[in-house]
Amino acid sequence: MALAYIGIGTNLGKKEENIKTALKEIKSLPDTRINKVAALYETEPWGYAEQDWFLNTVCEIETALTPESLLEALLQIENKMGRVRSIRYGPRVIDLDLLWYEGEKRQEEKLTLPHPRITERAFVVLPLLELWPEAEINGVVLKSIAEKLRQEQGIKKFKNL
Ligand SMILES: Nc1ncnc2c1ncn2[C@@H]1O[C@H](COP(=O)(O)OP(=O)(O)OP(=O)(O)O)[C@@H](O)[C@H]1O
Ligand SMILES: Nc1nc2c(c(=O)[nH]1)N=C(CO)CN2
């Protein structure tokens, strides 16, 4: 079994329900279990300002799926939940990012590991640190950048699930 972290985000419709539905879907993937889920955070839109705030979290899973089949499964969950692709970094019912998979590295457009924008995003770094306080991504110790990201980007803990 491999350890992996998935970033979950939503800013359309019933956001908390969307996160719960996505977690249910992840839980029912073959040979996969959810170990822990971070708190839900209300977060300022990153990358494209003209949209509602997001609700974000991160979950830790163990899975026997390969990184490629896990990503494929996550994209299928997004489609099933009605995700429509339009504006880059724009509004979405659900966004599932494969953040990290057992230290694996990939450099393809279809799958980059670790996810290439983790260290720029408070909405990923803060929930990820709850689950993995010693996290280090491509040589960056996340704990060391968390405070700066928290000050620069709007982020509020909303609730524990
Ligand atoms: N680690 C990864 N996790 C999720 N998708 C990835 C990853 N690496 C590459 N991709 C590819 O990125 C494509 C576009 O993803 P998506 O539309 O969710 O981007 P985005 O959410 O707008 O931006 P971001 O990836 O910065 O969150 C997906 O089809 C997928 O193949
Ligand atoms: N706060 C926040 N901003 C975003 C998010 C997200 O999940 N949370 N996802 C995006 C898609 O890449 C773009 N911007």
Please say if 31 is a catalytic residue: no
The domain containing residue 32 runs over which residues? 2-159
Chain mean position to CA 132:
14
Helix-strand-coil split of the chain, %, nearest 5? 30, 30, 40
Ligand nearest to the CA of 43: 2
Given the residues 92, 106, 117, 121, select the one marked as catalytic.
Answer: 92
Residues of the chain with pLDDT under 50: none
| CATH of residue 13 | 3.30.70.560
DSSP per residue, 27-84: HTSTTEEEEEEPPEEEE---S--SSPPEEEEEEEEEESS-HHHHHHHHHHHHHHTT--
Given the residues 31, 52, 88, 95, select the one marked as catalytic.
Answer: 95
Structure tokens at 35: 């170990």
Determine contact, residues 58/95, Cβ cutoff 8 Å.
no
The pLDDT assigned to 83 comes to 80
The pLDDT assigned to 85 comes to 76
* Atom 16 in ligand 1: residue holding the nearest Cα: 95
Ligand nearest to the CA of 40: 2
Beta bridge partners of 157: 41
Determine contact, residues 87/30, Cβ cutoff 8 Å.
no
The pLDDT assigned to 84 comes to 81
Separation between Cα atoms, residue 150 and residue 44, nearest integer Å: 11
Number of domains the chain contains: 1
Which one of 6, 61, 115 would you pick to mutate in the ligand 1 pocket, going by the greatest count of ligand atoms within 8 A of its CB?
A: 115
ipTM: 0.97
Structure tokens at 123: 């909405």
